Amino acid sequence: MSLWHHLILTFVRNPVFANLAALGILVGGIAAVFDLPRETFPDTSVDYVLVTVPYPGANPEDVERGVCIKIEQAVEGLPGVREVVAFAKDDRGEVYIAFDPATVSTGELLRRVQDRVSAITSFPEETDKPVIAEVIFREPVINIGVHGSAPERTIKHVAEEIRRHLLANWTISQVQLSGVRDYEVSIRLKEETLKRYSLTLQQVIDAISQSSLDLPAGTVRAHHEEVNVRTVGQRYTAADFEGLTIIAHPDGTSVCLGQLAEVRDSFAETPIRGRINGEPGATVTVFKTGREDISRIADVVHRFVASARPDLPEGINLAIWGDSSRDVDSRLEMLVRNGAGGMGLVIVCVLLFMDLSTTLAVAVGIPVAFAGAVVAIRLTGNSINMISLLGLLMVTGIIVDDAIVIAESVRSRARRGLDPELAVVEGTELVASPVLMSSLTTIVAFVPLMYVSGVMGKLIYILPVVVISAIIASGVEAFFILPAHLREWTSGIVEASSGSWRAGFRRRLDDGIDRVIERVYQPALRWALNSRAVVAGAAFAVALVAAGLVWSGRTPFVLFPKIDSNVVIAAVRFPDGTPAKVSEAAIEHLERTAQGLNNDPALKPWAEGRLVQNVYSVVGEWTHLRYQHGSAFGEVTLELMPAEQRRVDMTKVIEHWRQSIGTIPDALTVDIVRQQLGPTEKPIEIRLLGDDLEELERAADDVAAKLAEYAGVSGIAKDLFPGKRELRVSLRPGSENLGITVADLATQLRQGLYGGEAVRLQRGPDEVKVMVSYDDQDRRSLGAIEELSIRTRDGAAVPFHDVAETQMVRGYSVITRQDHQRRVRVLADVDEHYANAERIVRDLGAGFLPELQSKYPDISYVFDGERKRINESMSSLLRASAVAGVVMLALLGAVLKSYAQPLIIMAAIPLGMVGAIFGHA
């Protein structure tokens, strides 16, 4: 007696155990469903460590030289590091360290980077402490707009209170404010006042820092108790600082800070201004991280806003916008509906060929397989998302195959009059080996998807896990649980085969199928067998045509399809140094044209309501596309009516908005894009590496001009932009004889213009800087700088122009470095209907780029973006598929005991791919 026979017989004779096993799997699946978080795509790590070093008042060249290069050198040689990319910006440096998680863990790399960076002793004194952290993917879930006619301080206070209340809920862990400025106590002094009192800014800064602090002094251990001793003198408000003594005379008189300076308790000098639906406002954005549930987060936010509205201060309103849980829930519901419909069709098809009782026995395997897959999702720490549900949809038709084969084998023996138990055991045992082999080869075919590298591999990893788990669960059900059910219903099979209307219908259906087989299939099969060369040649020709469709670009290869949301973003950028009022005027124009879309008859939505439901704008920063800040930046975000209600194509909305906007004078870029779900890399990205930024810029312009020659290529841009005009100040020869050094000149200019930080104080959740500088009038013109005085070491005042020389230049807004070289990227979008990115990249690599390298020999180039990710993912997939192919050959060869037959069977794989290509053409 074989092992199969023994196992099958055990379950057939003990149907209670079989039913309990099925029930256990179902209960486990149901329990897992309620414990699984919901999200759009699987939560993935990006495998980056970020080192951020604030360098207030510094330009990109200073940051590159003083911060980025030092960190690059420090982390060089760390094991597992794949790439180091640094961004030198105004006021800070950012260094991204990409690593291979298979070589080094995140925690280990963080520790090593911390050790290396901490060992750097040559950072400029003005830099703040480096911040080192893992880059974590955060999915924005929902936004709360705090807006109205109230003052900025009230809006910020309400927004911070909302943030605090939301973080107190265990469902939410990440909340961020945008469109608001940091608090700051600013102390402004006139140059003439400093001269009158023979003071320097440094003396004022020192007086404030020494007179505003709380300091523990230790503990007094008496006989009966211990007493802590603490010196208290911290100032917190403008009034506190105004009363601070700066000059004390021997006669008892003194001069307070309020007599010398204007003290403001206000906001930092940044141009950030947020607006919501035309009113001043701030945005509270709630993010999802890890295993948090997007729908639960949104529900918590909606309930909180509803409860908070009655208690809002006068002039404050709350608006909810950008609720991505609606998109997720609608898409998940659509997949569930489609899956239920597909499962129903499968059952109907089975019912056409089998009796009702057998069909029900087969159908039981579907929920059991799904439950097994859901348990696997839970055990692997994944979620209910579009990828895992897609896996369940894919496997719906596969999981019933085993049950159908076994059920038909049992039915055939039952019709011969065998004992019901014997019919079930023999029928199942007869097809056990081929059914098992079919399941194993299917599992092997999906295993390579678990070894796809890159971001794509992380996104789709759950897909093979779901499919394989469902196949295993369906196999267990088909081999052990199904036979027990068929044993109980075998008598029904025999009875139903005689006189019921279903039996008559099936006989007529079988007769029809037999006629098709006899009159169509068999003649075609005989002709194919007699004309094997013709058939093989035709199959080969069809495969060549399919390959040609892909190679020529007629059927484009896309790493990840673009999935729209209901959000459109317009980002405008002016030359660095542009006044904030220019950016504000442009943003107001974008807001007006956005609201005008509601009156465009060509964009009238299908449902009642406004097409544009919310408009959020911010001047002074970009928050969506990529974070940038400064007066030259502005952004407008539109929330549209849901797609199923508006029935207006997003591309049409963007085109009409673009036409309404027209040309914005002096703007460097005006990008209008839809917010996309999933990876958003550009189809074409060319990285140019070298040391000379001017040469890199010329080469990037040549690449952009070449890309513009290709039809279907749009959105061509480079990531190198001119920076602010810069007044470079140097020490005149001989100035050292006056007792003035370069450090004296630099420090006094920095303190006067940017400001010197006297102290930082903690007010509730806010860290507030106290900054000392010249007043606005002494800082608002280049002529005013010429009138400044530089103090010598003995306190004498020397006119600025006597000790300093100036030169006006213009640098770059951001300097990017990659692996110890400067880098400029050229990016472009490709309309898949008119062009193929892969073919364009091949064409550039074959001719233009080698010629470019000859023209600029000190510059190298590499392809990146979506093309690089495709190549990485496909190469790893092909390697894993080759191994899987060998395993499948071995499995089939072991069963068929032949070398040729497995090859013949596996020839169906490329023909199946041909069908998929034609289906996408």
Structural Rg of the chain based on CA atoms: 36
Reported pTM: 0.76
Please check whether residue 139 is in contact with residue 294, taking contact to mean a CB–CB distance below 8 angstroms.
yes
pLDDT of residue 501: 64
Helix pair angle (420-446, 482-496), 10° resolution: 130
Of 132-146, 202-216, 338-352, the least confident:
338-352
Looking at the predicted structure, is the pLDDT value of residue 794 above 80?
A: no
Please name the amino acid found at residue 902: P
Mean pLDDT of 628-634: 82
Tens digit of each residue's pLDDT (9 = 90 or more) over 544-557:
888 887 776 677 66
Cα torsion through 444, 446, 447, 451, rounded to 10: 150
Which one has a higher pLDDT value, 541 or 679? 541
Whole-number percent of the chain with pLDDT over 90: 18
DSSP-derived secondary structure letter, 711: T
Using CA atoms, how far apart are residues 81 and 842, in angstroms rounded to an integer? 29
Tens digit of each residue's pLDDT (9 = 90 or more) over 232-279:
888 888 888 888 888 888 887 888 888 888 898 888 877 788 889 888
Mean pLDDT of 817-824: 92
Looking at the predicted structure, is the pLDDT value of residue 493 above 60?
A: no
Segment of 13-22, 80-89, 602-611, 826-835 carrying the highest mean pLDDT: 80-89
CATH 3.30.2090.10 fits 204-217+230-253+724-812, yes or no: yes
Using CA atoms, how far apart are residues 732 and 801, in angstroms rounded to an integer? 9
Q: What pairs with residue 617 in β-bridges?
A: 275, 636
Listed by start position, the domains of the chain span 1-35+355-494, 45-136, 139-182+267-322, 204-217+230-253+724-812, 499-525, 564-677
Whole-number percent of the chain with pLDDT over 70: 95
Half-sphere exposure (Cβ direction) of 579: Cα atoms closer than 13 Å: 4
Tens digit of each residue's pLDDT (9 = 90 or more) over 30-46:
898 888 888 877 877 77
Enumerate long-range contacts of 848-852, CB under 8 Å, 24 or more apart. Answer: 848/703, 848/706, 849/686, 849/703, 852/699, 852/702, 852/703
Dihedral class, residue 77 (left if φ above 0, else alpha if ψ from -120 to 50, else beta) = left
- What is the distance, to the nearest Å, from the Cα of residue 175 to the centroid of all Cα atoms in its chain? 16
Looking at the predicted structure, is the pLDDT value of residue 119 above 70?
A: yes
496 pLDDT band, cuts 50/70/90, is: very low
DSSP H/E element including 456 = helix 454-460
**DSSP state string for 719-732:** S--EEEEEEEEEEP
pLDDT of residue 503: 65
- What is the distance, to the nearest Å, from the Cα of residue 38 to the centroid of all Cα atoms in its chain? 16
**DSSP state string for 764-785:** TTEEEEEEEEE-GGGTSSHHHH
Tens digit of each residue's pLDDT (9 = 90 or more) over 843-853:
888 889 999 99
Structure tokens at 708: 């513009």
User: Do the two domains 1-35+355-494 and 204-217+230-253+724-812 of this chain adopt the same fold?
Assistant: no
Mean pLDDT of 736-754: 82
CATH homologous superfamily of 1-35+355-494 equals Multidrug efflux transporter AcrB transmembrane domain (1.20.1640.10)
Mean pLDDT of 592-605: 88
Helices (H), 321-461: 324-353, 356-363, 365-379, 386-415, 420-446, 454-460
pLDDT of residue 495: 46
CATH assignment of 564-677, given 3.50.50.60, 3.40.50.300, 3.30.70.1430, 2.40.110.20? Answer: 3.30.70.1430
Q: What is the mean pLDDT of the chain?
A: 84
- Residue whose tokens read 């267990």: 476
pLDDT of residue 1: 53
Which one has a higher pLDDT value, 676 or 14? 14
Helix pair angle (482-496, 15-35), 10° resolution: 120
CATH homologous superfamily of 139-182+267-322 equals Multidrug efflux transporter AcrB pore domain like (3.30.70.1320)
Cα torsion through 679, 683, 684, 690, rounded to 10: 10
Looking at the predicted structure, is the pLDDT value of residue 489 above 70?
A: no
CATH 3.40.220.10 fits 45-136, yes or no: no
Tens digit of each residue's pLDDT (9 = 90 or more) over 424-472:
888 888 888 888 888 898 999 999 988 888 777 888 888 999 999 999 9
